[in-house]
Each structure stands twice: as structure tokens, then as C-alpha cells.
């Protein structure tokens, strides 16, 4: 794959999407991870004067914000930092949710971040650029109406291994590229442990249909069970007569 060509195609596509929507730029959530870093870098090339990164710690590993700032400063990305920890805890208080199942609580975080990004998008007439890659979209490894609630998905056509190669071209710091992928939902959480499949195995299956029986079974189960995330909600239609 010619990654320079891919980069130019995505940058042009971002410009086209923003112009078509009558918007002025882009806003991206910066997590300190490789996907958000690549999307932020692409958006910065598309809109160097109207691209905003938003760092949103929420009971997070402090290294997330440190790496996000490192990227923003290296690539000259304008950014805001909004600590959502107290907002998250207040919501849990309001719904008496402190003893709720871990995932029910964890998914609040990306939904608060989505709300924050759309505030900045509305304030500036920007589009929210999502950070989902093809591997995540295939398996449904995103929170419905959380990090899945976006206007455009610039890297949605690239599997994780391809995103990693593009990151090198975009001068993303090695400290981010080599970091184990995590959604940052709770301490010590990693993508691959939660999915029970490695990105290398998953990418090989998505791109070439290759993999062990276990890989095929896990990948297809994840894809099937998350189908509702990729579709609009069913709408009841009244039948006449």
C-alpha cells in the first residue's frame, strides 16, 4: 500500500466532507492513542487553522493526557483540556450507579466525551471526526453513541496494522505508536484482552479471510453481535388498510 497516496486521499476526503456539510473545520478527541493521533494529524493537514483537539480525562491514566499533549505540541494542533471526572461521578450519584456493573459505568465515559465534542463542534461549526478504524468497526469495538457517535470516520477503511504504518508517515511519536491499544475504560484495560483476539489476527482475517478456527469464530461472533451498532435504529412503519 502506498501510504503517502492514502494520506493524501484521506486529507482530501476530509476537506470534501467538511465543505459538503457547510462546516468550517474539525474537532477530534485526543486520547493519547494511535487512532486518535492519526486522525488528529490528518485533520490538521486538512484544516491547519480550524482543527481542534480535545483532551478529556475521566478517571484516566495520567499518561493519556501527557501523550495527547505531546502529539498536539509536536504537530501544532490547537487543543482544549476538559476534565470530565467530576461530571462522571456526579452522574453516577444522580442515578445511584456506583454499584452498577463495570461496563454500564464504563460506557458513560465515551458518551460524556461525545457530548463534549459536539459542544465544541456546534460552537465552532466543525464536524466531529471519529477515530474508529476498520478493525474496530468490524467487531463493534466502540461504544454506541459514545466514540461511535461522530460525523465522519477518516480511518474507517484502514485496519489497525495499516493505521500503524500511516502513523509513522504522519510523524506520530513512537511512544504512542508502540503503546498497547486501550479504550481507557478502566485501569489496566486493553483492547486485545477484552476482544480475546489480537489485532494482527483480526486484521489478517478481515483483509484476507485467513485465520484459525478460533480466530474466525471470535471475529464473526463479534461482528454479528455488534451489527446493531453499525445500523440506524429500526423504525416502525404504519401499514395502511
The C-alpha cell at 74 is: 509536536
Tell me, what's the pLDDT at 194? 75
For residues 155 and 35, is the Cβ–Cβ distance under 8 A?
Answer: yes
What DSSP letter does each residue of 128-182 carry, written as one string? Answer: EBP---HHHHHHT-S-TTTTT--SB-TTTTS-HHHHHHHHHHTT--HHHHTSPP-
Say which CATH superfamily domain 3-230 falls into. Answer: HUPs (3.40.50.620)
How high does pLDDT run on average in the chain? 94
Query: For the whole model, what pTM was predicted?
Result: 0.94
Q: Nearest to residue 33, comparing CAs of 65, 58, 3, 75?
A: 65
Q: Distance (Å, rounded) from C-alpha 15 to C-alpha 37?
A: 18
Q: What is the pLDDT of residues 135-148, one digit of tens each?
A: 999 999 999 999 99
Q: What is the pLDDT of residues 137-177, one digit of tens each?
A: 999 999 999 999 999 999 999 999 999 999 999 999 999 99
Q: Would you give the end-to-end CA distance of the chain in angstroms?
A: 56
Q: Is the pLDDT of residue 188 over 90?
A: no
For residues 45 and 6, is the Cβ–Cβ distance under 8 A?
Answer: no
Tell me, what's the pLDDT at 131? 97
Q: Nearest to residue 151, comparing CAs of 181, 177, 120, 182?
A: 120
Q: Distance (Å, rounded) from C-alpha 148 to C-alpha 171?
A: 26
Q: Nearest to residue 68, comparing CAs of 22, 44, 36, 92?
A: 36
**Pick from 119-128, 178-187, 203-212: least confident:** 178-187
For residues 6 and 166, is the Cβ–Cβ distance under 8 A?
Answer: yes
The residues spanned by each domain of the chain are 3-230
Catalytic residue numbers read 35, 136
Tell me, what's the pLDDT at 56? 98
Q: Distance (Å, rounded) from C-alpha 67 to C-alpha 214?
A: 35
**Pick from 129-143, 176-190, 199-213: least confident:** 176-190
3-state secondary structure of 55: strand
| CA 99-104-107 angle, 5° bins | 130
Tell me, what's the pLDDT at 241? 72
Amino acid at each position: 500500500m502506498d501510504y503517502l497516496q492514502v494520506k493524501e486521499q484521506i486529507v482530501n476526503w476530509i476537506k470534501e466532507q467538511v465543505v459538503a456539510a457547510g462546516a468550517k473545520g474539525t474537532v477530534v478527541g485526543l486520547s493519547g492513542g494511535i487512532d486518535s493521533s492519526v486522525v488528529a494529524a490528518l485533520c490538521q493537514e486538512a484544516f491547519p487553522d480550524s482543527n481542534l483537539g480535545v483532551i478529556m480525562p475521566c478517571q484516566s491514566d495520567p499518561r493519556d493526557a501527557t501523550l495527547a499533549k505531546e502529539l498536539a505540541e509536536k504537530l501544532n494542533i490547537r487543543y482544549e483540556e476538559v476534565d470530565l471526572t467530576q461530571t462522571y461521578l456526579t452522574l453516577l450519584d444522580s442515578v445511584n450507579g456506583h454499584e452498577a456493573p463495570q461496563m454500564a459505568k464504563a460506557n458513560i465515559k465515551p458518551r460524556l466525551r461525545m457530548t463534549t465534542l459536539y459542544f465544541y463542534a456546534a460552537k465552532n461549526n466543525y464536524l466531529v471526526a471519529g477515530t474508529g478504524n476498520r478493525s474496530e468497526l468490524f467487531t463493534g469495538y466502540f461504544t454506541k453513541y459514545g466514540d461511535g457517535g461522530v460525523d465522519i470516520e477518516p480511518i474507517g477503511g484502514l485496519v489497525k496494522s495499516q493505521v500503524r504504518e500511516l502513523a509513522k508517515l504522519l510523524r506520530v511519536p513512537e511512544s504512542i505508536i508502540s503503546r498497547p491499544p486501550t479504550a481507557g475504560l478502566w485501569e489496566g484495560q486493553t483492547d486485545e484482552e477484552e476482544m480475546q483476539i489480537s489485532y494482527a489476527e483480526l486484521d489478517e482475517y478481515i483483509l484476507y479471510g485467513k485465520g484459525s478456527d478460533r480466530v474466525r469464530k471470535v471475529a464473526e461472533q463479534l461482528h454479528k453481535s455488534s451489527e446493531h451498532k453499525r445500523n440506524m435504529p429500526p423504525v416502525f412503519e404504519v401499514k395502511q388498510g
